[in-house]
Amino acid sequence: MTAGFQHLHTYFLLPVSIDKQAVSEDHPSIFCKHPAWIHGLDEWLKAPPHQAGEAFVARLGPWKRAAYTSFDIDSPAYQDMVFFHPIVRRVFFDSAEKFTEATENESLLQCYSIDTTTGGKLWFFAEDAKGRSAKVQVTDLRLFLFTNGIAVLSLGVEAFGITVRDGLWINEMMRKIYPSSRRQLREGRVPTRLALIWAPTSGPEEVLAEEHFEHVSMEGFLPPMARTVQALFYFCDYELQEYEPVLDERMIVYTYATIDPNTVPAEFARSEEYEVLLSRLLYVDRAGDGYRYDPAFVSSEMYRQLYRRWAHQGTYYGFTSYSNITCAIGNFDCDEHQLGEGFLVHRMFSTRYYLMALATLFYRTTLLDFAERTALVSRRLYVDQHDDRISTENIRLASELRSDFLHFSNYWYFDELANKDEENEHFLMQVREYRIDVMKREVEEEVDKLNTSLHNYYQFRNTEAVNRLAMLSLILGAGAVVTGFFGMNFGGVFGKTLFEPGAHTAPVHWAAILFVTIFATATLSFGIYVVLANWGDYRESLLPRWWLVRKARHMRSLRRS
């Protein structure tokens, strides 16, 4: 008997980092007129697409805002939000409510979607060098854009009544976005063709985006992203390095699978065969006999990575750094949750657990982005120190990095997302597999060290400035004493010699004038020289505030430079 999947529902999640400064430079007419970068996203996504996405946008249209608009008890917004803490609802949900200055929108993201089912069907196709292929329907396309430049593409596919072998191949192959070597293409470990195909209700199919990986090369330091992905990021120019993938050559696999009970024996839920299938699904491997890795190693890892609260019903949840699985045997009533209202496990998979998976992926991606920004800012400061002077722009970058991290750590990051035990246990398991706590501590230490280094630098420069000021004050004070001395109302011989000279005292009179003139000229010249020689220390104090704010908003990209 060959095991089969009754229902396979997979979201391929791709996190990317958008270079906000580069995008602002390339689209000044859009972003210069908005007070914050996130406010220009709606207009940006309506801009003419780049070449890779022209056919896709022409057929299905651009991304459209998909914010929550209704909040009654029967609405999706209510059912999604109610399981999260209030502060999480304010931050992680895109709401279309009208806000005033007194009630500012605190959401850090905007959600967009593309309709893939009206007038036809959108298919995702993959094929490898050994002739294996699969085509599954794309039933959900969503894009989450965060205010810090992080974006998460969510591509949802579904298939019904397929074999476990085909389902595992779909998850393993369709997550690839570029090959890591030519050998992978030859051996069939990466698709030789990926395609997004539109099948209208009537008429021939149309290929909207396609990738064969025939001419594979790096784009600067960036990997060769598949055109199927570039088509969905049509508003960004990959060749201009406006965005980059944050992880590796694979998308995160967030998958739900129900095993057809008619294709497995009655005792399957407690069998080792089920454990093997769970391991293949959890580690996104293809079908095979037995465990792919050492059984003792796999058992040890799976004991930590599988959530077993509902194991007695054959339902498991699993978490790794590149996958998140929900697996059950058939559809059935879950206590008082009747199957006629929809299978509870799938409903939770596509709502609250989906949102939690996005939140944890956002945390991981943001921390990786912070690590990169910290390295790039540190490199700039290191280069500056060769000239024994750190530029104001780089100091501002370091200050902005610290401010952004504090905002993330104190406002965006939550140790507890949800208000139910089961949801929190899922979240903590995903946090552990993503190493989010470890990464957060490491980035925090790096940012603190960077801040300490700049603090020491500031102390050194302030000491220098104080010493210069003391020296100038001493010299100018001496000049003031001299001129004040000559300005005193002395009479007698002093007054006649210096202020009312005769024939015999004229040389003394002119010598005094020459001395005071030379001293005053030298003092003022030295003061002007000190200011000009250290203009970088005084420039920011003299420039108008509006000019500094405008310059800060248009700082150059860290990555491009």
Q: How confident is the model at residue 102 (pLDDT cuts 50, 70, 90)?
A: very low
Is the pLDDT score of 366 beyond 50? yes
Q: How confident is the model at residue 476 (pLDDT cuts 50, 70, 90)?
A: confident
List pLDDT tens digits, range 368-377. 999 998 988 8
So what's the pLDDT on residue 99?
Answer: 44
List pLDDT tens digits, range 530-548. 777 776 666 666 566 555 5
What is the Rg, in whole angstroms, of the alpha carbon atoms belonging to the chain? 33
List pLDDT tens digits, range 421-441. 888 999 999 999 999 999 999
* CA angle, 158 then 161 then 162, to 5°: 80
Q: Which residue has the tokens 């025939």?
A: 214
So what's the pLDDT on residue 103?
Answer: 44
How many other C-beta atoms lie within 10 A of the C-beta of residue 101?
5
So what's the pLDDT on residue 536?
Answer: 64
CA pair distance 81, 84, nearest whole angstrom: 6
So what's the pLDDT on residue 557?
Answer: 73
So what's the pLDDT on residue 538?
Answer: 62
Q: Which two tokens stand for residue 208?
A: 């909207």
Q: Is the dihedral of CA 537, 539, 545, 551 positive or negative?
A: negative
How many other C-beta atoms lie within 10 A of the C-beta of residue 386?
7
